[in-house]
Structure 1
Amino acid sequence: MKTKSTLSVMALLLAAACAKQPDQIAAIDIGPNAYRGFSCSQLAQADAKYDIALENLSAQQRDAATGDAFAVFLLGLPLASMSGQDRETQIAATKGHIQAIKLEQARKGCRVAS
């Protein structure tokens, strides 16, 4: 019985160490003043820049998550996360910037392209 619970704990720890899917990563709070001095045009440019960055990081993160899933299944180790391929921190920061930009655009009443 002890071996079974030890294996269960190890499996949970390994699963927790795996790279998350991009949609499971929450934005971090950038703060309300990060984009205060930006014009609507500058906010739109920053938003476009961060949208592209998020797309690229998300693709890398999906690859890392898939790699971790296979590696844990085959070897019992989240190799992508262990080798620095996990982009969770960068994705959280990028989402935070996008969120801060959207809030500032709304505060200023900027027109946002659909």
Structure 2
Amino acid sequence: MNIKTITAIAALPFIAACAQSPSSIAPVSMGNAYANVSCQQARADLIAERQTLAALEGKQKGAVAGDAIGVLLIGVPMSSLTGGDVSGHIAASKGRVIALEARLSSCGGA
């Protein structure tokens, strides 16, 4: 093996630990979690959850950039290692948005 191959293999655990792009994070299914919520409450919750999701996506983009810089400079995805990766929160928030949108689709004139 040459040095490039060894370096690439050694870097795999660090690259795998890097934060995911927000768009590549799959939502967590919430099922019928909002089935008993009123249409008015579902609308308010959806607005709030979309704001939460936007904030989380902004934080995640920062973690992605931080990891890229960390891996480039020192070989370590710093944001992921220091808690900057919020992919689990994004997955849950995306799931809540989908569930709330599904609830509103049954309200008529959502």
Q: Percent identity?
A: 35
Q: Which consecutive residues of structure 1, in runs of 5 or more, have no partner in the other structure?
A: none
Provide TM-score, normalisation by structure 1.
Answer: 0.88
1:110 aligns with 2:103: no
Which amino acid is the alignment partner of residue 57 of structure 1? L
Q: What's 1:16 paired with? A: 16
1:56 aligns with 2:55: yes
SS state at 1:64 partner: helix
Q: Is the 8 A contact 1:43 1:101 kept in 2?
A: yes
Give the superposed CA RMSD. 1.5
Matched ranges for 1:31-46 at <5 A: 31=31, 33-46=32-45
User: C-alpha separation between the residues in 2 aligned to 1:10 and 1:25?
Assistant: 26
Which amino acid is the alignment partner of residue 111 of structure 1? G
1:9-62 Cα deviation digits (max 9, x unpaired): 33232221101111111101112x210111111110110010000011111111
Q: How many residues align?
A: 110
User: C-alpha separation between the residues in 2 aligned to 1:83 and 1:110?
Assistant: 45
Q: Which consecutive residues of structure 2, in runs of 5 or more, have no partner in the other structure?
A: none
SS state at 2:33 partner: coil
Which amino acid is the alignment partner of residue 101 of structure 2? K
